[in-house]
Structure 1
Amino acid sequence: MTRIERIAMSSTDSDSRVALITGAGSGIGRAMAQAFAAIGARVVAADIDLGNAEKAAAEIGDAAIAVRVDISEQASVNDLVRRTLGIFGRVDVLCNNAGVLDTMALPADTPIEVWDRVLRINLTGTFLVTHAVVPHMLAKGSGVIVNTASEAGIRGGAAGIAYTASKHGVVGITKNVAWAYANEGIRCNAILPGPTLTGVAAEAANFDPAGVARLQPIISLNQSIAQPEQMAAVAVFLASDAASNVNGAIVPVDGGWSAG
């Protein structure tokens, strides 16, 4: 019996939920995969870097599978959902976590290609995965979506224009999905991480100095650097029955940054 066959058989015999997590190969997504597995969920660790996704799944064991996905491409997203349903038969929790930073450049200095890439991944990607998963949640009358937005989703001075626009858009997607399906058993909430120790921070070498200088007054208000596990814990709560009446919430997980 192959590992996939063992997973499929065990999922048939279990009431545990299935959590599909994008960007699960590193950072917050990897912590989410581990956190959901820790409470008994079966996990689909999806990432554009299959090697990282496989490492994340291997850390969990037979309760997880790894799938490569490019969330900016509809065909890749549809394949991800088909494979998930083929193995587990359902998706109970969707964590739209995959995303990229911009260069922190000021609006007039932001290259069009940076704008296109960041919006395509962060915003359109979140829509594409949601668009592919929601029909299956509707068919079974339940489901939870947790989107990873950002402090930049509620501020204008925490990132460059592309990232800021994309995360404001994720907040909008969250509220729209929550309202649209509130009577259909589907909840949708978002977490807003502040600075967190993730692999995305490696892109800091590409930051635009003039943009960073202008953003510094807001960035300097931050009081802490979070661990990915702190974000994952809130995602698990929002997906749990304890949050059964929480829908459309935009939850800062920033150590008080947004309170300043």
Structure 2
Amino acid sequence: MRLQGKTALVTGGAQGFGLGIAQAFLREGAKVAVLDINGEKAEQAAEALGEGAIAATCDVGKAASVDAAVAQVLAAFGRLDIGVNNAGISHRNQPMLDVSEEEFDRVFAVNVKSIYLMAKATVPHFRAHGGGVILNIGSTAGVRPRPGLAWYNGSKGAVNLLSKSMAVELAPDRIRVNAIAPVAGETPLLATFMGEDTPEKRAQFRASIPWGRLSTPQDMGHAAVFLCSDEAEMVTGTVLTVDGGRCI
């Protein structure tokens, strides 16, 4: 019960890594708001998670949507202790010049601008209540980029560095900021990362990971619990690679 009495929101929480993090938080005693652009899936996830979970529809790339979702969470829980910026998308694995401007803008809106908008919505609350925790989900793509994902790699590099920049500025407010950098995982985005979902492509990606397997939502949940718990009180500005050795 390392998160007993804590409240958290998780963007992109209806599936994949976000759902794994929400599940882990609930097991550790937290109340969790599942935010997702797909409101129906968010509701289904919250219902499956059970008591202590609520749902909110949120397009993390739009200020009005973020502000409304955070207001809904605060109204339900009364306060917020943890914000997890997990929502993310990618363009298809392809040559960099084949990615459309619309795709580029959406990748940076969801992966990068979302962190700015969520900070605007939550940091004043954290300051008023003596502190808080922000956890950003970056990627090993921002540490050791793969070909065919140039603009996605760049967006996740921004997430990794933003986490450090935010940590330095917000430390005097007792707000810790860290990031997790997962390796390719068993999530709905996997086929997009690979370009195509075939046994051969999966084998190619697994071969790049010394531990010999893709990551799972449960892996991210375990890491997130530690970084967001009081056990990590001295940990801020860290980008934790959960990657089976991929970035060595």
With the length of structure 2 as denominator, give the TM-score of the two structures. 0.90
Match of 1:70 in 2: 59
Match of 2:84 in 1: 95
Alpha carbons 1:114, 1:162 under 8 Å: kept: no
Tell me the amino acid that sits aligned with residue 151 of structure 1. T
Match of 1:182 in 2: 171
Structure 1's 141 and 197: CA in aligned 2 closer, same or farther, altered over 3 A? same
The number of aligned residues is: 239
Deviations 1:142-191 (A, max 9, x none): 10111100001112326512211110111121011100011111000000
Which deviates more from structure 2 when the two are superposed, residues 56-65 or residues 153-162?
153-162
Alpha carbons 1:157, 1:218 under 8 Å: kept: no
Deviations 1:182-222 (A, max 9, x none): 111100000000011111224358x38xxxx9xx9988522
Output aligned runs, 1:111-190, within 5 Å. 111-157=100-146, 160-190=149-179
Distance 1:138 1:161 in 2: 36
Q: Is residue 26 from structure 1 mapped to residue 8 from structure 2 by the alignment? A: no
Distance 1:91 1:70 in 2: 19
Q: Which runs of 4+ in 1 moved over 4 A?
A: 216-220
Distance 1:249 1:198 in 2: 24
Alpha carbons 2:131, 2:173 under 8 Å: kept: yes
Partner secondary structure for residue 46 of structure 1 = strand
Which has more radius of gyration? 1
Partner secondary structure for residue 257 of structure 1 = coil
Tell me the amino acid that sits aligned with residue 112 of structure 1. E
Q: 1:35 aligns with which of 1, 24, 28?
A: 24
Q: Is residue 203 from structure 1 mapped to residue 197 from structure 2 by the alignment? A: no
Structure 1's 174 and 70: CA in aligned 2 closer, same or farther, altered over 3 A? same
Distance 1:159 1:65 in 2: 37
Unaligned runs of 5+ in 2: none
Tell me the amino acid that sits aligned with residue 145 of structure 2. G
Distance 1:202 1:178 in 2: 33
Q: Is residue 258 from structure 1 mapped to residue 247 from structure 2 by the alignment? A: yes
Unaligned runs of 5+ in 1: 1-14
Tell me the amino acid that sits aligned with residue 245 of structure 1. M
Tell me the amino acid that sits aligned with residue 120 of structure 1. A
Which deviates more from structure 2 when the two are superposed, residues 176-185 or residues 55-64?
55-64
Match of 1:221 in 2: 208
Tell me the amino acid that sits aligned with residue 146 of structure 1. L
Alpha carbons 2:95, 2:148 under 8 Å: kept: no
Distance 1:106 1:135 in 2: 41
Structure 1's 159 and 35: CA in aligned 2 closer, same or farther, altered over 3 A? farther
RMSD value over aligned CA atoms? 2.1
